[in-house]
Structure 1
Amino acid sequence: MFCHWGTVRRLSVKKLPLKHVIRARAFSGADAVNALRPFYFAVHPDFFGQHPREREINENSLKRLNGYLENLQKPGFRSFKPTTLTFYVREKEHNPSDVQESFGASGFKDPEEELEQAQRMETTLSSWLDNNAESAVKKLKNSLPLRKELDRLKGELSRQLHLSDIRWQRSWGIAHRCSQLHSLSRLAQQSPEALRNAKGHTVIFTDRSGMSATGYIMLGTMDVHHHWTKVFERLPSYATLQRKGLLLEDRISHLLGGIQITYMEDLQPMLMLEEYYSVLDGFYNRVRNSRLSFHPHSLRGLQMILESDRYAPNLHELGHFIIPTVCDPATLQWFIIAKAQQAREKLKRKEESKVLEKELIKTSAEKLSLQRLYKEPSVSSVQMIHSCNKLLEESLPSLQGMHLCISHFYSVLQDGDLCIPWNWKS
């Protein structure tokens, strides 16, 4: 199933063409996730705590792969244009030949054979907890002092710099997050004048430095303090560009019947503000020159995001339109009008699901005495609701006091968080 795998000691980068990972019609999305579970273990970002750059690359690629898998389950699915996902692979240290044995001597295994094997070896939640709960408890206990230190550092910096929030785009370990906050604290001492511009902003640690499309201050974790200082010094000019972007969103909305133009951080690649402004500007000029005729305010309440790597418009299961920046104006108008009512119904269901999801997370956490219950961004509200409802039916004393993450695969994170697939088996 996986092509061109080499046998190396610890870390290797391989490019896996998506056409060899997914046979679109042979798999459903859920089947593909099950079949890819061994692969998820080999590339999971939490195995790369000592390699932050490789960790970020894996997280980006996994996010895109999960998006492709979700699309497999949509009606009217069309094949994707050729693409390549890059992953760093963690192999077993005690026996490098294990990887070759697991994935086949040539590195190729038939998808149907992989799925059949995965189904035969299906893991149940109780059996997995029996084998992994003790290890997770130990890791969680060891991480408690660092978790307190992280909360302290985050609180101190937020107050000192008058920040709205401090976030992380990646699921870095606690020690790594503390190190990033220490770096920001040192910069605040060295360049207090530059950091005064940060008042009221949200800081997000990620892979690039600048300002994001959502207006967050992005601090690249591989950049030196000089790059961070330049970002804080440029905040006034970023604010000007952000205002221009908001104006473009309003103008596009006016031309398209009042539909809201938005950027969704959890569902789109992390764009720099300059990149997003360029996308808006190009799309605005395209729409303005086409003289589309939408009735004023007829699409108010609906949402639309722009994507540069698509060629056909789509209505997302969450109710927002996904519109290619190169979409033909006539096709755009026909598609939005034809799908408007369906979009409103999906948005309504989304809001109802969010409320139910929030209630079930709270109820499940209390029932199982969890310290924390949360989900990965790629897990939908419907999937989270399904998982919580199942958790409420179970008696799982080994979860008491634990941090539980609903994901797509089983894993014990380096700080003791337990990850379980949303569709776990009893």
Structure 2
Amino acid sequence: MLRHLRPLRRFCLEQTHPHWLHYSRALSGAEAVHALRPFYFAVHPDFFGQHPREREVNENSLKRLSAYLENLQRPGTKALKPTPLTFYVRDTDQASSDGQESPNSSGFRAVKFTLHTRDLLSTVLYILNSCSLSVEHIQSLNTNVHSQPLREAKGTPDRPIKWNRSYYAFTGFKDPDQDPEHFSRKETTLTSWLENNGNIAVKKLKNSLPLRRELGRLKDELSNLLQLSDIRWQRSWGIAHRCSQLHSLGRLAQQNLETLQQARGCTLVFTDRSGMSAVGHVMLGTVDVHHHWTKLFERLPSYFDLRRKLMLLEDRISGLLGGIQVVYIEELQPELTIEEYYSLLDMFCSRLQKRRIPFHPQSLRGLQMILSSDRRAPSLHELGHFDIPTLCDPGELQWFVLSKAQKARESLKRRERLKDIEDTLVRASTQKFSLEKLYKEPSVSSRQMVACLERLATCSLPALSGMRLCVSHFYSVLQDGDLCIPWNWKDREAVK
């Protein structure tokens, strides 16, 4: 039925992928991140502080993109489901491509595209081309590319692309206007980047201090008033935005304190939608009005009942699978409400009960598993937990878990040791550089964090004193003065 669409897809790929793609080696995960730097720079949510709606769209799309790229790198992964994405891209001097909205008065444009690629290189190229961003820097990542110049590739403009100076400062690529002779360029290093951006971060951090103090005061007051375990934010909103959300919650507490106190002992999370999360946190949707928040707090007793049923369901599954613990890892799993997660567990439990698997009681005690809703085969994550599809065949599940059980135990032990090393290095680095705070993005693994901090320990970086440092995948100064550096930062000048 869909056979007539195949020539169209081939045509689209020819238009967006340079011909040297067919002669290139596969991209590694680290190279893909490097190749997408111009894209991340153009869509990073922190550049949309004055546009909350566009910021949230980019945050959600980046998370889906990250999951897509991660799945591409998993061994044995076959074709992935098409993934539609929408990004607001900060305007450059380039003309908009067909199918994209023209830049608006705010300096950004909406770009919509659907990922249906099967490898990292074609995915990176497709994203950059969809956003009208240059792909020339990718050729340098491939050692076996075709010798023809990129300008002859189909779909690639033959005119020079004019980039804003901030693009070159961020990526470290050569600015032709500053180096017309094309002698060489120096790759961005941590020291050079701090020299160029340290004063900007200091100024932003200083300006944010009054709001940070106000945020801490509001958070403490509301936590005590409502007897909450914690207040968190699922998105990287700025300090001013967070203060505004707490003021709204404070006004609601003045009007209906008794109802809101039903959340005592809970963790409250400001996020995209209201409800209760899969791990039992109370979620307040930031686009909802006070009426919706009030209704949520009134429904909390029924959510607590569902939470107890969910925990019983997890115990039942654990009993059927030899004592393996069912866990939900927020950083690695989709954002699910408690209703969605309960439905997932109930479906999996029903399949197990229909076909009993003969596991010896408690033989898998100490191991962990997470449930996923896709149709992939079971896998063992590098962190030591099993990733089990809800519709996995019970017989295949039994064989896989038993054959990988010892390897899983060893991975869990390594994870614990790595986490201890990470915590020790965070404390040591915070003290060594006199940092106000040192943290990492959820997408940065403990292994990457340890590698980053071990190298930092050998450096002298007085510019970091008093700063808030975030280990990420790219360089950035956040709107409130936090410094983001890539975990694999460069420590020496690389002349090319």
State TM-score, norm by structure 1: 0.89
Aligned-partner SS, 1:311: coil
For structure 2, the 5+ residue unaligned runs are 1-12, 98-126, 143-149, 151-170, 175-186, 492-496
Per the alignment, residue 49 of structure 1 pairs with 49
Per the alignment, residue 10 of structure 1 pairs with none
Residue 383 of structure 1 pairs with residue 424 of structure 2? no
Cα displacement (A) at 1:25: 6.8
Cα displacement (A) at 1:80: 4.3
CA deviation profile, 1:244-292 (whole Å, cap 9, x unmatched): 1111100000000000011111111211111011001111001110111
CA deviation profile, 1:182-229 (whole Å, cap 9, x unmatched): 010011011122112111111000000000011000000011011110
Q: In structure 2, do the counterparts of structure 1 residues 98 and 41 end up closer, same or farther at CA, with 3 Å as the change threshold?
A: farther
Q: In structure 2, do the counterparts of structure 1 residues 393 and 72 end up closer, same or farther at CA, with 3 Å as the change threshold?
A: farther
Q: In structure 2, do the counterparts of structure 1 residues 275 and 401 end up closer, same or farther at CA, with 3 Å as the change threshold?
A: same
Contact 1:403–1:418 (CA under 8 A) maintained in structure 2: yes
Aligned-partner SS, 1:203: strand
Per the alignment, residue 107 of structure 1 pairs with 132
Aligned-partner SS, 1:219: strand
Aligned-partner SS, 2:302: helix
Per the alignment, residue 221 of structure 1 pairs with 286
Per the alignment, residue 29 of structure 1 pairs with 29
Q: Structure 2 matches for 1:389-400, cutoff 5 A?
A: 389-400=454-465
Per the alignment, residue 65 of structure 1 pairs with 65
Contact 2:94–2:132 (CA under 8 A) maintained in structure 1: no
Cα displacement (A) at 1:126: 1.0
Q: In structure 2, do the counterparts of structure 1 residues 340 and 279 end up closer, same or farther at CA, with 3 Å as the change threshold?
A: same
Residue 171 of structure 1 pairs with residue 197 of structure 2? no
Aligned-partner SS, 1:97: coil
Report the Cα distance in structure 2 between the residues aligned to 1:277 and 1:105, rounded to whole angstroms. 38
**What is the letter of the counterpart of residue 35 of structure 1?**
A
Residue 86 of structure 1 pairs with residue 85 of structure 2? yes
Aligned-partner SS, 1:404: strand
Q: Structure 2 matches for 1:10-409, cutoff 5 A?
A: 26-71=26-71, 74=74, 76-92=75-91, 96-97=93-94, 107=132, 112-113=138-139, 115=141, 122-409=187-474
Cα displacement (A) at 1:68: 4.0
Report the Cα distance in structure 2 between the residues aligned to 1:87 and 1:197, rounded to whole angstroms. 38
Cα displacement (A) at 1:109: 5.7
Report the Cα distance in structure 1 between the residues aligned to 2:430 and 2:51, rounded to whole angstroms. 33
**What is the letter of the counterpart of residue 57 of structure 1?**
V
* Most deviating of 65-74 and 284-293: 65-74
Per the alignment, residue 414 of structure 1 pairs with 479
Report the Cα distance in structure 2 between the residues aligned to 1:398 and 1:152, rounded to whole angstroms. 29
Report the Cα distance in structure 2 between the residues aligned to 1:72 and 1:423, rounded to whole angstroms. 21
CA deviation profile, 1:138-167 (whole Å, cap 9, x unmatched): 000000000000000000000000000000
Q: In structure 2, do the counterparts of structure 1 residues 215 and 386 end up closer, same or farther at CA, with 3 Å as the change threshold?
A: same
**What is the letter of the counterpart of residue 33 of structure 2?**
V
Aligned-partner SS, 1:281: helix
* Most deviating of 60-69 and 105-114: 105-114
Aligned-partner SS, 1:81: coil
Report the Cα distance in structure 2 between the residues aligned to 1:414 and 1:99, rounded to whole angstroms. 27
Q: In structure 2, do the counterparts of structure 1 residues 80 and 380 end up closer, same or farther at CA, with 3 Å as the change threshold?
A: farther
Report the Cα distance in structure 2 between the residues aligned to 1:25 and 1:328, rounded to whole angstroms. 35
Contact 2:129–2:135 (CA under 8 A) maintained in structure 1: no
Identity %: 64
Report the Cα distance in structure 1 between the residues aligned to 2:225 and 2:362, rounded to whole angstroms. 44
Contact 1:198–1:232 (CA under 8 A) maintained in structure 2: yes
Contact 1:67–1:378 (CA under 8 A) maintained in structure 2: no
Rg comparison, structure with higher value: 2
Give runs of ≥4 in structure 1 deviating > 6 Å: 22-25, 116-120
CA deviation profile, 1:406-426 (whole Å, cap 9, x unmatched): 001111000000001100001
Report the Cα distance in structure 1 between the residues aligned to 2:241 and 2:461, rounded to whole angstroms. 31
Cα displacement (A) at 1:128: 1.0
Contact 1:71–1:77 (CA under 8 A) maintained in structure 2: no
**What is the letter of the counterpart of residue 83 of structure 2?**
T
For structure 1, the 5+ residue unaligned runs are 1-15
Cα displacement (A) at 1:90: 3.3
**What is the letter of the counterpart of residue 51 of structure 1?**
H
**What is the letter of the counterpart of residue 221 of structure 2?**
E
Aligned-partner SS, 2:210: helix
Aligned residues: 404
